[in-house]
């Protein structure tokens, strides 16, 4: 005879055990069944090597989500689109920035988010966008990694230059310079006495220069005195004379302006005539001078003429006629 009660009991126990196992698994997995998420896109302009799916997304160091997918940007193959899923309570607003960071130089890449201003509105998808887009910025390590090749090239070049500078011939030259410096300092030490004499001479020269400066000062004072005292009346007289001359010139100017026509006629017509008259007067003066001289020497000659033998073309001789 079989007992039916034991089968029911065993079956119930097994079901209860399975339910306990499921509850335990959920508890162990910390599955937050009530949690809500928001998806965002981040576009990086450079490589995202090190970043993997299900990578952690931090917000100011707090893990708030994970990387859902990593693909190329659909409209620009130079960019990388990273799809992240964040918890809904994370305040991703306008002005928030995303940055690709690394855990050490060889660590795993992760995304770090920085919030925008508190008063800024929450980030929403723009028309044509599948999800809201968080702007990306370049991290310091990325800059270092990007410029590392150039830095290495520059360092190599610098090392090459230092090697050239420290070549054997340059080292020999530097040794010579040091040797010469040693010689100069030695001579300087020996010639201290000469330098002392030079200093004495320089001091005497400075004394003479000081005396000359004093003399110049005295001369300048005399000049100042001359200008301030003696020259004052002279300058005043000169100013007065200049004023008088200015007044006279003004009167002459007014006179000329008032008689412009007459002056023009005089300059153009009468002045050349005056020149001719002077020539004639000069000639007349010479003639009168000769006449007076002749009268002084022989008055009769002036009246009766100079006795001379005139030439007769017919006889071809000089006759007796006076």
Which residues contact another protein by CB under 8 A? 268-270, 272-273, 275-276, 279-280, 283, 304, 308-314, 316, 318-319, 321
**Cβ at position 262, least distance to another protein in Å:** 14
Whether 84 and 39 have beta carbons less than 8 Å apart is answered as yes
Q: How far is the CB of 253 from another protein (least distance, A)?
A: 24
The residues with which 41 forms a beta bridge, in sequence order, are: 83, 133
User: Closer to another protein at the Cβ: 76 or 310?
Assistant: 310
The set of residues, in sequence order, having a beta carbon less than 8 Å from that of 83 and lying 6+ positions away, is 39, 40, 41, 67, 68, 69, 70, 71, 131
CB of 233 to another protein, least distance (A): 45
Min. distance of Cβ 258 from another protein in angstroms?
23
Which lies closer to another protein via its Cβ, residue 240 or residue 317? 317
DSSP β-ladder status, 56-59 and 109-114: parallel
CB of 292 to another protein, least distance (A): 17
Nearer to another protein, 179 or 282 (CB): 282
| Residue 202: burial class (beta carbons within 10 Å; 0-12, 13-18, 19+) | exposed
Tell me whether residue 127 or residue 300 sits nearer to another protein (CB atom). Answer: 300
Query: Which residue's CB is nearer to another protein, number 169 or number 308?
Result: 308
Between 222 and 287, whose beta carbon lies closer to another protein? 287
Place of tokens 């002045």: 271
Q: Nearest approach, Cβ of 252 to another protein (angstroms)?
A: 24
Determine the 3-state secondary structure of 40 from DSSP: strand
CB of 316 to another protein, least distance (A): 6
H or E segment and range at residue 256: helix 231-258
d(Cα 62, Cα 54) in Å, to the nearest integer?
16
Q: Which is nearer to another protein, 201 or 273 (CB)?
A: 273
Q: How far is the CB of 293 from another protein (least distance, A)?
A: 15
Q: Which of 79, 88, 143, 90 is nearest to 112 (CA)?
A: 90
Report the residue number, 223 or 319, with the smaller CB distance to another protein.
Answer: 319
Euclidean distance between CA atoms 113 and 137, whole angstroms: 10
Q: Which two tokens stand for residue 247?
A: 């007044």
DSSP states of 124-175:
-PPTT-SS-EE-EE--HHHHHHHHHHHHHHHHHHHHHHHHHHT-HHHHHHHH
């Amino acid at each position: 005879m079989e007992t039916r009660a034991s089968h029911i009991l065993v079956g119930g126990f097994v079901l209860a055990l399975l339910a306990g196992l499921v509850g335990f698994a959920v508890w162990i997995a910390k599955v937050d069944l009530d949690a809500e998420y928001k998806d965002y896109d981040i576009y990086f302009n450079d490589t995202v090597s090190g970043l993997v799916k299900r990578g952690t997304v931090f917000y100011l160091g707090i893990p708030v989500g994970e990387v859902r997918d990593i693909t190329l940007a659909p409209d620009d193959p130079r960019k990388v689109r990273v799809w992240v899923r964040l918890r809904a309570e994370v305040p991703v607003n306008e002005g928030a920035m995303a940055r690709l960071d690394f855990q050490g130089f060889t660590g795993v890449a992760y995304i770090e988010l920085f919030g925008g201003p508190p008063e800024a509105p929450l980030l929403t998808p723009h028309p044509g966008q599948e999800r809201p887009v968080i702007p990306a910025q370049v991290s310091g390590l990325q800059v270092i990694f990007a410029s590392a090749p150039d830095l290495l090239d520059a360092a190599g070049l610098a090392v090459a230059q230092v090697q050239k500078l420290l070549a054997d011939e340059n080292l020999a030259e530097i040794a010579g310079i040091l040797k010469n410096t040693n010689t100069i300092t030695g001579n300087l030490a020996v010639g201290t006495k000469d330098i002392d004499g030079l200093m004495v001479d320089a001091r005497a020269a400075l004394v003479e220069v000081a005396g000359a400066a004093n003399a110049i000062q005295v001369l300048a004072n005399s000049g100042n005195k001359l200008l301030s005292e003696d020259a004052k009346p002279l300058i005043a007289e000169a100013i007065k004379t200049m004023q008088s001359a200015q007044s006279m010139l003004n009167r002459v100017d007014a006179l000329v302006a008032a008689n412009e026509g007459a002056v023009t006629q005089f300059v153009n017509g009468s002045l050349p005539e005056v020149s001719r008259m002077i020539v004639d007067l000069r000639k007349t003066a010479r003639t009168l001078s000769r006449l007076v001289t002749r009268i002084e020497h022989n008055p009769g000659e002036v009246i009766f003429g100079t006795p001379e033998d005139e030439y007769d073309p017919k006889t071809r001789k000089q006759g007796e006629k006076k």
